[in-house]
Amino acid sequence: MSSLNLDDFTDLIERPDGGVRRDAEAHRERRIVPPGALGRLDDLGEWLAAAQSAVPVRPIEHPRAVLFAGDHGVAALDVSARPAGGAGRLVRAVLEGASPASVLARGFGVPVRVVDMSLEADPGGLPDEVVRHRVRSGSGRIDVEDAMTLEEAEAAFRAGMAVADEEADSGTDLVVLGDISVGGTTAAAVLVAALCGTDASVVTGRGGQPIDDLAWMRKCAAVRDALRRARPVLGDQLQLLATVGGADLAATTGFLLQSAVRKMPVILDGVVSAACALVGQRVAFRAPDWWLAGQRSGEPAQAKALDRMSLEPLLDQGVTVGEGAGALLALPLVRAAARLAAELPEAPAPEPEEVPADAAEPDVELGSDSGSDSEV
């Protein structure tokens, strides 16, 4: 049995400050731009103010992209366009600055942190800061076996919490959260289907690199078989992650919940981070108030999870490449909302109207002669 009590998160996580949000709304009403003219940017600015407990909101100055990495055994069923066990190559591309996420992060001035949780790669070929939290090599084939043991799931979950604490302690004021995985979207689809009570075909998408119809049918079958294994453990979220998740998904869930504890806002990327957020919501219902959905990827499981958490994506660009790329695209929008909320001046108060001296009404003389002495 795990020594980690997930119920503690319910008490530890508070909602963003509602009083500060009302102050931010009042501040918006006084600004030179008419209310509603900036659309959703106004709502974003108020959300950030509540998260920061500050009016006016502070600019986003120290964002960080955090990417949890792992290989999934279910990829051996050819459910992905990427080769099974190939996430290590994707990690190296990110570290070398040769991936879409690296290019975007470099352009936006955002440091990227990669955390290896379960890559099928030689740890000696990666930097120590990448591999120091690794729990295992790869994960079990979730259609026929557990992804990992309960002890490994707890270790991964705690590693995610530790990463969140490290980021909060270092001054990170906003996290762009993503994943680097092969087979991760299959595990994510299982989690979403289990938590939402839907069938495999409803949540199964085409993955980061779109797959053909035959691969999609294999993926549906894998999700269906894993779903049968997930349903008996729905009451225990850590056991659920151990059964049909993976070390990278467990770490992502722990990271999300601890970020909410530390009041550190997070932008979610695609279906993997959305699935982990849905697990986090099941643990602590107030936690999603600290998260933004960066973009709509087109994966049906992502749409299902975000709808369940009432999170509306900021962008709809259909970016499926993963690695936090879609969420990075949303970062300039969030930064813009913060700057507008902080720097737009208030409208000048209207000057009182002056009444001309000769505009006073004439005195009315009572008892005038007209008709008062008429004869009978």
Output the domain CATH number for residue 78.
3.40.50.10210
What is the pTM (predicted TM-score) of this model?
0.90
Selecting among 46, 323, 343, 346, the annotated active-site residue is 323
| 118: enclosing H helix or E strand | strand 112-118
Q: How many domains does the chain have?
A: 1
* Identity of the residue numbered 183: G
Is 90 exceeded by the pLDDT of residue 81?
A: no
**SS3 at position 179:** strand
- Amino acid letter, 230: A
Beta-strand relationship, 266-268 and 112-118: unpaired
CA distance 159 to 166: 10
What are the residues facing 266 on neighbouring strands?
175, 291
Look up the domain containing 95 and give its range: 61-332
Task: Please choose, from the candidates 288, 285, 248, the residue with its C-alpha nearest in 3D space to the C-alpha of residue 75.
Answer: 248
Is 289 domain-assigned?
yes
Q: In which element (H, E) is residue 242 found? A: helix 237-244
In a domain, 327, yes or no: yes
Domain-located, residue 17: no
Would you say residue 343 lies in a domain? no
**Does residue 376 register a pLDDT over 50?**
no
282 inside domain: yes
- Among the residue ranges 94-108, 129-143, 337-351, the one predicted with the least confidence is 337-351
As a whole number, mean pLDDT of residues 357-362 equals: 57
Cβ within 8 Å of residue 351, ≥6 positions away: none
Separation of alpha carbons 221 and 114, rounded Å: 31
Give which of 98, 76, 94, 93 is closest to 85, Cα–Cα. Answer: 76
In a domain, 5, yes or no: no
Token digits of residue 52:
């920061």
Q: pLDDT tens, 51-80?
A: 999 998 999 999 999 999 999 999 999 998
Residue 144, in any domain of the structure:
yes
323 is known as an active-site residue = yes
256 within a domain of the structure (yes/no): yes
Cβ neighbours of residue 366 under 8 Å, at least 6 residues apart? none
In the prediction, which pLDDT does 343 show?
Answer: 87
pLDDT of residue 91: 97
Q: In what order do the strands lie in the sheet with 291-293?
A: 112-118, 63-71, 174-182, 266-268, 291-293
Cβ-count burial of 34 within 10 angstroms (0-12 exposed, 13-18 middle, 19+ buried)? exposed
